[in-house]
Amino acid sequence: MGENVPEIVQEAVLKRTATTSLLKEIVHGYNWDNGLDFNKLLDSYKYSGFQSTNFGLAVEEINKMIVCRNQPLIKDNYQDDGDQSNKINNNCTIFLGYTSNIVSSGLRETIKFLVKNKMIDCIVTTAGGIEEDFIKCFAPTFLGDFNLEERERDCMDAQSNDTTFREKINNEDSVYYWAAKNRIPVFCPALTDGSLGDMMFFHSFKNPGLILDILYDLRRLNLMAIRSANTGMIIIGGGLIKHHICNANLMRNGADYAVYINTSSEFDGSDSGARPDEAVSWGKIKADAKPVKIYAEATLVFPLIVAQTFAKFYFQDGASGESN
């Protein structure tokens, strides 16, 4: 590079690359000269870098789950003790976890699509993730604004929640209507952490004696993971839903596939922000797995992920993509 460049500079800055073994994929974006093709546009994300690449890797990981799930279930590969409540129906049990804000948003319809068409096998959510679905069965949720005055925000909440309690939900718009119809178990490890808890508190005065057996639910969730031939985790958000799905898979020495979607960082030591490698160190994800975390707000990316994974299999198979 020139005889006058000091030797220390040549050594520190102009040193040749010693190995190229890690240089496998060329960074490139979508070629707009080919016109508008949304499928190829989303495929190009994998090679665009940053979170776009994680998006592409997550699509690949979920598609691996689906392919594995659609393979025949070999009886010798899973444990069946005859308990119908923990019966394994697919070669890859897919656990879907999400927080309450996901159901409050328009992602409710995307989740309903997965549950209605039996594309996942187990749901783990929060109290709000259940009650927000029920609330929407009675009245719509309206778009708000983080800058609204508190009084206006309360008024919008009242419009959404001014409902009369009923003993049964019979509404095909509900995620849990289809979960019940398709016998997909729903676990809520903190059922009291929301207005459902408030209602149970009031009920305890009116009709004392209600007991919730949370240990039985935990046993069912963990046994579902233990008895599975293979498992995949799709976790939207963090907190207790993330921990309970991961911990259930710890009981079987780790999930085979995993995708996290959240905006949390790991610097504060929270489980929400913990990366997949933390789960690998605990045995919650298998050491040879290829887990992916997308640092993104879910309403932006999850519908696109479903479009490139579950929806493709479903519509390509003539609306019969499930293996049940």
Under the banding of pLDDT at 50, 70 and 90, the label for residue 161 is: very low
Under the banding of pLDDT at 50, 70 and 90, the label for residue 146 is: confident
Dmax (CA) of the chain: 91
**Would you say residue 61 lies in a domain?**
no
Q: Which residue has the higher pLDDT, 323 or 109?
A: 109
Cβ-based neighbours of 287, under 8 Å, separated by 6 or more: 254, 280
8 Å CB contact between 276 and 285: yes
8 Å CB contact between 306 and 318: no
**One-letter identity of residue 6:** P
**Would you say residue 269 lies in a domain?**
yes
CA distance linking residue 223 with residue 240, whole number of Å: 18
**Would you say residue 168 lies in a domain?**
yes
**Would you say residue 20 lies in a domain?**
no
From the list 284, 286, 290, 293, the catalytic residue is 284
Residue environment code for 109-135, b if the CB has 16+ CB neighbours within 10 A, otherwise e: ebbbbbbbbbbbbbbbbbbbbbbbbbb
**One-letter identity of residue 298:** A
**One-letter identity of residue 145:** D
User: pLDDT of 226-262, one tens digit each?
Assistant: 999 999 999 999 999 999 999 999 999 999 999 999 9
Q: What is the pLDDT of residue 159?
A: 45
Task: Locate 155 and state its tokens.
Answer: 């008024």
CATH code: domain of residue 265: 3.40.910.10
Q: What is the pLDDT of residue 153?
A: 52
8 Å CB contact between 65 and 232: yes
Question: Is residue 290 annotated as a catalytic residue, yes or no?
Answer: no
CA 167 to chain centre: 29
**Would you say residue 90 lies in a domain?**
yes
**Would you say residue 49 lies in a domain?**
no
Q: How far is CA 4 from CA 10, 16, 103, 169, 186, in A?
A: 10, 18, 65, 81, 71
- Rounded to 5°, the CA angle 132-136-138 comes to 125
**Would you say residue 254 lies in a domain?**
yes
User: pLDDT of 280-299, one tens digit each?
Assistant: 999 999 999 999 999 999 99
Cβ-based neighbours of 270, under 8 Å, separated by 6 or more: 238, 264
Cβ-based neighbours of 207, under 8 Å, separated by 6 or more: none
- Rounded to 5°, the CA angle 42-259-89 comes to 110
Q: Which domain holds residue 293?
A: 86-316
**HSE toward the beta carbon, residue 306, CA cutoff 13 A:** 20
**Would you say residue 310 lies in a domain?**
yes
What is the number of helices (H) and of strands (E) in the chain? 14, 6
Task: Locate 245 and state its tokens.
Answer: 């799905």
Average pLDDT for the chain:
89
8 Å CB contact between 257 and 92: yes
pLDDT at 155 over 80: no
Q: What is the pLDDT of residue 318?
A: 62
**HSE toward the beta carbon, residue 203, CA cutoff 13 A:** 12
- The residue whose two tokens read 């390509």 is 316
pLDDT at 35 over 60: yes
CA distance linking residue 104 with residue 156, whole number of Å: 13
Pick the range with the lowest mean pLDDT from 43-57, 74-88, 119-133. Answer: 74-88
Q: Is the dihedral of CA 70, 71, 72, 75 positive or negative?
A: negative
State how many domains the chain has.
1
